[in-house]
Amino acid sequence: MNYLNILIPFVGGLGMFIYGMQIMAQGLENAAGNRMKSLLEVLTKNKMMGVLLGAVITAVIQSSSATTVMVVGFVNAGIMNLTQAMGVIMGANIGTTVTGWLVSSVEWAKVLSPSTLAPIAIMVGVVIMLIGKRRSSKEVASIIVGFGLLFVGITTMSSAVAPLQDSEGFRNIFVTLGSNPLLGILAGTLVTAIIQSSSASVGILQSLAAAGLVPFSAAIYIIMGQNIGTCITAILSSLGAKKNAKTAALMHLLFNVIGTVIFSVGAILYFEVLNTDIGAGVITQTQISMVHTAFNIGTTVLLFPVSNWIIKLAKKIGRVEEDEQDRSRVLLDDRILETPAIALQSVVNEVERMGQIVLESMEAAKTVLFTQKEEEIQFLKEEESTVDRLSAGITNYAIKLSSLQISEKEHQSVAHLLQIVSDMERISDYCENISEFAETLYEKKESFSDVGKEQIKEMLDVCTDSYRYALDSLVEQSKEKAFRVIEKETQADDLEISLRSKHIKRLTNNQCNTEAGIVFLDSLVCLERISDHARNIAEEVLEDLT
């Protein structure tokens, strides 16, 4: 038997299977688009919601490894805690079973026979891709073509290994794996770790099963090993990350290892004591899908009540405690870029967080000119440094995101966010300038006149409201709030002209101190520019909403 003639088409089929899976997943992800973004909000919910989220995202992107890598990124960025991560990890194990059901559908849905359906799917997809003009058409085409290629790949693999049915040596290998649980688990672990995809390794197992080569017992142990092998991607991804992120990867490993140990013991008892004949029987593709799904759902149901213990064990092994969040650290991670739709929502969340910090600076600026307290002056300076670091980090991340294959609408959203970040950073600069004006008044032991205080308070209120409405328009995606900003900005412009004129008259009539008067005028300039930047933010929001 010429094994080279078997290996070459088998490897080619595997490559086509993985490529088809990736194309289909990318099409599904792009089509999901905004829905994927909204799923991020679920991360703030309970652990059960995390399980559902993990299952849905993994079903869409067709890879539990990619989902857990994303989880590591979220934890490393500080936007997901370990409890939330545990839920998503459990859900990812369930979501990854979808690919197996697609492959086994050739048995329980005869109309989906690869020999007839795959070429038709590819042809239909290509036609849509060539004649379709809309972005949604291209996404549908990607899904259909990927679906076809996946089936062509699995058919090629199955055909390649068909001659091995007559190989006693090859059959004996699987008999050995079935009679020795440790070897079966190890085989599944190594294959999955090498190709870094449990979906692909299950596809390989199903192609061998289609050729009638895999005993039931061997398949059980190999599937369990595949769940352990899929952890390698997250573990490698966590290298160089914070301890919390490494703990998240360790949680994934512990969860799968514990589940494998429990179900392996059950499988051994079943095959060796309760039903000694079934283990030697040949397993089908559909049965592999059933076992894979039952194992992952069963593990989740069994370990969900004690998942907090797994978290504690992982933290103890990793010698880590969750640290208090540093506000100046950018809560974004390159791992999340693997899923651009969610990465974009992460940027939006981070811009909103930065906006809240700037709002705190605005509120502090409303009083610092009058109190001239050293701690308030220092607070504004520290806040400005925090905003500078956030601005730089968000900008760099957004640029990386814009370089990916994202839609035109998403490119526009990134551009709007970059401009908003710039405007927020400038507002923070002006707030720091106001703190420096307060420092000048304190050093010179000067203050505004009573009339000057009332007037500058009025300007502060208008400009603070202008920025608050701008931030609300971003967070709520509200056109109404954005138009309120424009009204406030016009009011601030008129007020600045009026107050400047009145103040110059007071200076001319010697009704106020010259030193304090200069600070008054400089403060008016800063506040008027703050309202300008608030209007810029509102206009970016309006453009993004159109």
The per-residue pLDDT for range 70-82, each reduced to its tens digit, is 888 778 777 678 8
From the number of C-beta atoms within 10 Å of its C-beta (0-12, 13-18, 19+), residue 273 rates as: exposed
The CATH code that applies to domain 341-545 is: 1.20.58.220
**How many Å apart are CA 347 and CA 359, to the nearest integer?**
18
Q: What residues form DSSP beta bridges with 474? A: none
* Nearest CA-CA partner of 208 in 238, 234, 187: 187
Q: Where are the domains of the chain?
A: 3-318, 341-545
- What percent of the chain has a predicted confidence (pLDDT) above 70? 88
- The H or E element that residue 76 is part of is helix 64-77
Q: Which amino acid is it at 62?
A: Q
**How many Å apart are CA 225 and CA 188, to the nearest integer?**
4
**How many Å apart are CA 291 and CA 310, to the nearest integer?**
24
* pTM for this predicted structure: 0.74
- DSSP states of 244-281: HHHHHHHHHHHHHHHHHHHHHHHHHHIIIII-TTGGGS
Half-sphere exposure of 509 (CA within 13 A, CB side): 7
From the number of C-beta atoms within 10 Å of its C-beta (0-12, 13-18, 19+), residue 389 rates as: middle
Length of the chain: 546
- The H or E element that residue 374 is part of is helix 374-402
Q: Tokens representing 199? A: 């979906």
Buried b / exposed e over 284-296, threshold 16 CB at 10 Å, is: bbbbbbbbbbebb
User: How many degrees, rounded to 5, is the angle at CA 404 between CA 402 and CA 410?
Assistant: 50
- DSSP states of 418-440: HHHHHHHHHHHHHHHHHHHHHHH
Q: What residues form DSSP beta bridges with 282? A: 215
**How many Å apart are CA 88 and CA 104, to the nearest integer?**
26
The per-residue pLDDT for range 408-434, each reduced to its tens digit, is 888 999 999 999 999 999 999 999 999
The per-residue pLDDT for range 242-254, each reduced to its tens digit, is 788 888 889 999 9
Is 333 a residue whose pLDDT tops 80? Answer: yes
Amino acid 324: pLDDT: 47
Tokens 């309120």 found at? 484
Of 37-46, 229-238, 267-276, minimum mean pLDDT range: 37-46
CB 534 within 8 A of CB 467: yes
The per-residue pLDDT for range 88-145, each reduced to its tens digit, is 899 988 988 887 787 777 666 655 555 667 788 888 888 888 887 776 677 788 888 8
- The H or E element that residue 58 is part of is helix 47-61
Q: Tokens representing 305? A: 């009540």
Q: Which amino acid is it at 216?
A: F
Residue 110 neighbours by CB under 8 Å, 6+ apart? none
Amino acid 546: pLDDT: 76
**How many Å apart are CA 534 and CA 488, to the nearest integer?**
9
Higher-confidence residue of 334 and 388: namely 388
Is 150 a residue whose pLDDT tops 80? Answer: no
For residue 251, CA distances in Å to 43, 292, 314 come to 17, 20, 6
- For 302-312, what is the mean pLDDT? 91
Q: Tokens representing 530? A: 């703050």
Q: What residues form DSSP beta bridges with 215? A: 282
Residue 119 neighbours by CB under 8 Å, 6+ apart? 148, 152
**How many Å apart are CA 425 and CA 384, to the nearest integer?**
8
Torsion of CA 82, 83, 86, 92, to 10 degrees: -100
Residue 173 neighbours by CB under 8 Å, 6+ apart? none
User: How many degrees, rounded to 5, is the angle at CA 355 between CA 351 and CA 356?
Assistant: 125
For residue 163, CA distances in Å to 15, 158, 175, 219 come to 20, 10, 18, 20
Of 87-96, 200-209, 392-401, minimum mean pLDDT range: 200-209
- For 443-469, what is the mean pLDDT? 89
How many Cβ atoms from other residues are within 10 Å of residue 144's Cβ? 23
**How many Å apart are CA 242 and CA 452, to the nearest integer?**
51
Is 329 a residue whose pLDDT tops 90? Answer: no
Q: Which amino acid is it at 491?
A: Q
From the number of C-beta atoms within 10 Å of its C-beta (0-12, 13-18, 19+), residue 323 rates as: exposed
Residue 47 neighbours by CB under 8 Å, 6+ apart? 83, 84, 86, 87, 304, 307
CB 140 within 8 A of CB 31: yes
